[in-house]
């Protein structure tokens, strides 16, 4: 590749990064204006919608993000319902990336299983107020990238991932696009999950659904659009705090 092409690629990456950061700043202001009551009401709508949503009902092994106390859908009720329903519930766990390459994030995300509601209630908040897995217990837990162990992590794959985000929209081709917090944890996790499925001779059929406050969905061009790069994973759908379910135009599932 020529030096000119390299310079063009770097300029494109810088432009994409700047566009994403601009949208994050805009959304931070918008979401910061929402009251606790509005967020809890929308969270209740999302959790009630999920209870009869077929991909969730049929999923046996799911991942659910654990919420910050502000600015996003609160998932406490969802986690409790999933555990009470007999689903295997996995939650994010961040750790040092065992693969050290300049092109990969320094930290990676695994999903580790909650044992039951009591186990969930024992989690302590981190510096952002998010309930978090105690690193001292990780080796005792079933997890997606744990490797061969007594918990059968080497065979573990997820059916459904319920994902957070900063902003979402529908792209020109009908895809559901997501803007994350900029660390690449979910995109990298999904790529590794697909690789693991392939190594086990299985189709990478994991379903990816975002959960979002209505204010996080950019419904018109005047609100802007979600900038995406080649590593950004499109979603199978999005459940909003007003009860709407957004699906890709070419693959209606709701």
Would you state the pLDDT for residue 254?
Answer: 42
Residue 7 pLDDT grade (very low, low, confident, very high; cuts 50, 70, 90): low
Q: Let me know the angle formed at the C-alpha of 165 by 190 and 138, rounded to the nearest 5 degrees.
A: 55
- Most confident of the following: 4-13, 32-41, 104-113, 133-142: 32-41
Crossing angle of the two packed helices 36-50 and 76-84, in degrees rounded to 10: 30
Domain 3-246 falls under CATH 3.40.50.10420:
yes
Residue that wins the pLDDT comparison between 107 and 252: 107
Residue 250 pLDDT grade (very low, low, confident, very high; cuts 50, 70, 90): very low
Q: How far apart are CA 75 and CA 68, in angstroms?
A: 9
Above 90 in pLDDT, residue 245?
yes
If we measure between CA atoms, which residue out of 167, 186, 185 comes closest to residue 177?
167
Q: How far apart are CA 178 and CA 189, in angstroms?
A: 15
Q: 10 Å Cβ neighbour count for 23?
A: 20
Termini Cα distance of the chain: 44
């Amino acid at each position: 590749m020529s030096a000119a092409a390299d310079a063009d690629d770097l300029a494109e990456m810088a432009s994409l990064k700047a566009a994403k950061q601009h949208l994050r700043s805009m959304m931070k202001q918008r979401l910061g204006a929402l009251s606790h009551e509005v967020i809890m009401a929308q969270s209740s709508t999302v959790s009630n919608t999920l209870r009869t949503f077929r991909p969730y009902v049929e999923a046996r092994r799911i991942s659910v993000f654990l919420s910050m106390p502000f600015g996003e859908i609160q998932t406490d009720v969802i986690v409790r319902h999933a555990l009470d329903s007999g689903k295997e519930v996995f939650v994010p766990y961040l750790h040092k990336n065992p693969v050290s390459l300049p092109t990969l994030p320094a930290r990676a995300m695994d999903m580790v299983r909650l044992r039951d509601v009591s186990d969930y209630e024992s989690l302590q908040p981190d510096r952002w107020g998010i309930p978090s897995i105690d690193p001292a217990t990780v080796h005792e837990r079933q997890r997606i990238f744990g490797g061969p162990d007594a918990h059968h992590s080497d065979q573990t794959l997820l059916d459904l991932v319920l994902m957070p985000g900063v902003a979402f929209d529908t792209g020109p081709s009908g895809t559901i696009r997501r803007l994350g917090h900029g660390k690449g944890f979910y995109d990298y996790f999904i790529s590794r999950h697909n690789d693991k499925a392939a190594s086990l001779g299985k189709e990478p059929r994991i379903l990816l659904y975002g959960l979002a406050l209505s204010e996080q969905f950019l419904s018109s061009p005047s609100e802007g659009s979600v900038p995406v790069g080649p590593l950004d994973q499109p979603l199978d759908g999005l459940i909003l705090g007003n009860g709407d379910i957004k699906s890709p135009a070419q693959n209606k599932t709701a």
